[in-house]
Homo-oligomer: A and B are copies of this chain.
Amino acid sequence: MIQKRYKEAFERASAERQEKILEVGIEEFSNNGFENANINVIAKKAGISIGLMYKYFSTKEDLFITCISRGCNILENALDEIMKSDDKLLVKAEKVIRTTCYHSKKNANYIRLYNEITSEKNPTLAKALAEEIEFSTSRKYISSIAEAFAKNDVRQDLEPRLFAFFLDNLLMSLQFSYTCDYYRDRFEIYTGINVDEMDEEKVVSQLLKFIESAFTFEK
């Protein structure tokens, strides 16, 4: 768990205020990027003074990171639900893909924020963020796959951790394709499909097919 980056005063603020600040923060950071987001604007939109903002967060970076943490939790909870079921791996995969699509639309701002993070240049911060964001999710994928591996439900010549990595790459790319301008255009260039008008069912099923063979492939 990343170290908390908000001050005690923030904890004492009302839940609605906390919510509002992070929501506005996520929106501003995801729309403008970290550098171009304006903390005075965020404060104003959140309905508090800039002084109070600095009572809650020591720096712009701290606010940014707290926004990210918030976004993380949202996605993680959804995943938990799915992973703790005892569905077969392929069923879980389908659920995860559908959930990914659903959340990419619902929490588009957060996904864009996530994309923002991936170009973080400060190595220490990058590491802390990666731990915060990827660790929990990765463990869920890895253990589910390892379990299936043990039951001989997946190819025995694929290492569970790399398998999980490849899988998440596909999900991550899908998320970005839903939410980030560049990736949306890229999606259309590749598939000819405009994300906003797409037949999601089809993409889900195609992705499932693309990966299912990895689960059960037999030469």
| Chain A contact residues, CB within 8 Å of chain B | 31-33, 35-36, 112, 115-123, 126-127, 129-131, 134-135, 138, 141-142, 155, 157-159, 161-166, 168-170, 172-174, 176, 180-187, 189-192, 203, 206-207, 209-214, 217
Contact = CB atoms under 8 A, between A and B. Distances in A.
Report whether over half of chain A's contact residues are helix, strand or loop; otherwise say mixed. Answer: helix
A184 B165 CA distance: 12
Given A173-B173, A191-B162, A210-B166, A185 B127 contact: yes
Contacts of A115: 118-119
Contacts of A166: 170, 206-207, 210
Copies of this chain in its oligomeric complex: 4
Query: Which of the listed residues A126, A130, A169 has the most CB atoms from chain B within 10 Å of its own CB?
Result: A169
B157 A190 contact: no
B185 A126 contact: yes
A186 B33 contact: no
B35 A33 contact: yes
